[in-house]
């Protein structure tokens, strides 16, 4: 019983095994995983300049932007209410109606 391949056997590369190994390796050594992938597939990824990292997470930046938009809209609505109140209109049940004069 032979446990080793004969001299006639060629080299076998299991790409699925390499990809699974890359997935595990990328968790701790991202740069090493990239180099192994480049070597295994005989390709080269273009180098990108490093981006400055924000201290805030992306979702927090988006929430801040949405909150700012909401505040601006509320400010515009308040200005509109004041302007219409000066000209005899008031907001009742979501509709602007003329202010009823009391006799």
pLDDT digits (tens, 9 = 90+) for 5-38: 667 666 556 666 777 777 788 888 888 888 887 8
Burial of 36 (0-12, 13-18, 19+ CB in 10 A): middle
Tokens of 60: 């927090």
Q: Determine what percent of the chain is predicted with pLDDT higher than 70.
A: 78
Report if pTM > 0.85: no
> What's the CA gap between 17 and 67, in Å, rounded?
47
Distance from CA of residue 4 to its chain's centroid? Answer: 50
**What residue spans define the domains of the chain?**
13-46, 58-98
């Amino acid at each position: 019983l032979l446990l080793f391949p004969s001299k006639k056997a060629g080299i076998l590369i299991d790409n699925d095994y390499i990809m699974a190994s890359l997935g595990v390796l990328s968790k701790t050594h991202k740069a090493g995983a990239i180099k192994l992938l480049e070597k295994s597939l005989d390709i080269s990824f273009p180098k990108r300049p490093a981006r400055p990292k924000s201290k805030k997470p992306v979702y927090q930046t988006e929430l801040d932007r949405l909150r700012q938009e909401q505040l601006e809209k509320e400010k515009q609505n308040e200005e509109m209410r004041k302007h219409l109140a000066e000209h005899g209109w008031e907001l009742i049940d979501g509709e602007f109606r003329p202010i009823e004069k009391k006799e």
